[in-house]
Amino acid sequence: MFVKPLWLLVDSLTLNVNKYYSFLMKSQDWSREELEEYQLTKLRELSNNFGLGIDSFEDLKSRPLTSKQDIPLQYTPRIRNYITHETSGSTGEPRRIYVPSEHWPRKEAVFMRCWSWLGWRGQPVLRLIAGKPSWPWYDRWRNVKILNYREVTPEHVNYVIQKRPFLIHGRGGGVRGTCEGVIKAGRADVLKDVGLVWLGESSEGHRQRLEPYVRGFYEGYGLAELAPVASPCEYNNMHINMECGVIESVDGEIVITDINNTAMPFIRYRTGDDGKIRDSDCPCGRQHPILYDVRGRRTDYYDGPEVKKPIHWWLVSPISHDYIDLVKAWRAEVFPKEGRIVIHFVFRDKEDFARLEPYRRWVEEQTGLRCEFQKQDSATKWKRDLVRVIT
Ligand SMILES: [Zn+2]
């Protein structure tokens, strides 16, 4: 087959996914000491770059914790080749951040390694993402179908029915919606060949619903703007990708130092999600520590006669993209039986409902429900449920 060498050649001239992938396929067999040595080297580079004065893990751990509030609203990246990222907003507090342009290929390589752990040898994979595919030719070559997670279309459903992908990988709401579409089409039988890699939100409630249908339900953890934090192995343990970051559990909260972000420092960055870490005792033999008991933000899923299309994460995702400078935090409550949605906002500086009006109309058009806005003064009482459906 000539495609593979050609793919590798083009890749080496452009994205370099394979460079990262080859490295990760080696480092997956490293000992804990070797992994830590690698992290230290990267940390020192980062420290030189940003003048952080970090020479050891002790130095790192003496640094203060940082959070979304510490990300400046205006920032000039330190390198020339970077991409801008609006944070997924999964904490309900949107921010704009910068990552090096190799962020995307590196992330893909981490995902591909995870898929290989789960038995992937080039079978079709359905990957659900927020935007458009960055490199469609590349995805075609590696047999990965990219679709948007926000709206499950007949294309999603037909792809799964026809191709029976080895994995559906992506944000929980989209994974749930796609599977529900297949079940609704009367083809739940195909799901027994399909594994799920659930990301971006808590699987609470969703796992119980989908697990009986699918070949496997795997869960990873990461933030869209930072490299994947932990990836599931064939034993369904979430191994921390030590090649991407130093991950700590501080008072039960997951804290990340991204060792590859040379555009903007993310040092001891609080995720707002809870999780615990233990040394690897996994039968797979990999020495990367295991992240467990993760309690992240969650969104409900609702499909019923009252709504034009199933409600999940997509409902609130435009907030973090379009109103980043206006809105500090948000939470949505859906009352389908009453035909209404209430979205609570904490404004950054001043209240401006007029600017949010197009969003309100969009919500009404998309859902068929009446949308009301409410102002809140603080986000502190807002719990993990970002989209709550009250039936
Ligand atoms: Zn394992």
Expressed in angstroms and rounded, the spacing between residue 309 Cα and the centre of ligand 1 is 37
Measured CA to CA, the distance from residue 360 to residue 9 in angstroms comes to: 48
Per-residue confidence (pLDDT) for residue 272, from 0 to 100: 84
Measure the CA–CA gap between 370 and 162, rounded to whole angstroms.
37
**Distance of CA 30 from the midpoint of ligand 1 (Å):** 14
Distance 279 CA to ligand 1 centre (A): 11
For 309-341, the pLDDT digits (tens) are 999 988 988 887 788 788 888 899 999 999 999
What separation in Å is there between the alpha carbon of 107 and the centre of ligand 1? 19
pLDDT digits (tens, 9 = 90+) for 168-209: 999 999 999 999 999 999 999 999 999 999 998 899 999 999
Cα–Cα distance for residue pair 230/256, rounded to 1 Å: 11
Q: Where are the domains of the chain?
A: 3-295, 300-389
- What spacing in Å lies between the alpha carbon of 48 and ligand 1's midpoint? 34
Residue 126 pLDDT > 60, yes or no? yes
CA of 265 to the centre of ligand 1 (A): 30
CA gap 85, 97 in Å, rounded? 5
Using one digit for the tens of pLDDT, what is the confidence trace for 60-80? Answer: 999 999 987 788 878 888 888
Residue 343 burial (CB < 10 Å; 0-12/13-18/19+)?
A: buried
Tokens representing 230? 């932990």
Q: Checking phi first, is residue 97 left (phi over 0); if not, alpha (psi -120 to 50) or beta?
A: beta
Q: Which CATH architecture has domain 300-389?
A: 2-Layer Sandwich (3.30)
The per-residue pLDDT for 89 is: 52
Task: Kindly tell me the sign of the dihedral angle through the C-alpha atoms of 241, 88, 296, 309.
Answer: negative
Distance 155 CA to ligand 1 centre (A): 34
Average pLDDT over residues 335-358: 94
Looking at every residue in the chain, the average pLDDT score rounds to: 91
Q: How far is the CA of 121 from the centre of ligand 1 (A)?
A: 18
Tokens of 243: 């090649």
- Cα(185) to ligand 1 centroid in Å equals 35
Task: Tell me, in angstroms, the distance from the centre of ligand 1 to residue 117's CA.
Answer: 8
Q: Helix H segments across the chain? A: 3-13, 17-27, 32-50, 57-61, 103-117, 136-141, 154-163, 172-184, 206-210, 317-322, 353-367
Q: Are strands 195-199 and 167-171 parallel, antiparallel or unpaired?
A: parallel
C-beta separation of 254 from 275 below 8 A: yes
In order, the DSSP letters of 219-283 are E-B--TTS---EEE-TTS-EEE-TTTEEEEEETTEEEEEESS--SS---SEEEEEEEEEE----T
- What pLDDT is recorded for position 225? 74
Residue from 201, 170, 379 nearest 297 by CA: 201
pLDDT of residue 1: 43
pTM for this model (two decimals): 0.88
The superfamily CATH assigns to domain 3-295 is ANL, N-terminal domain (3.40.50.12780)
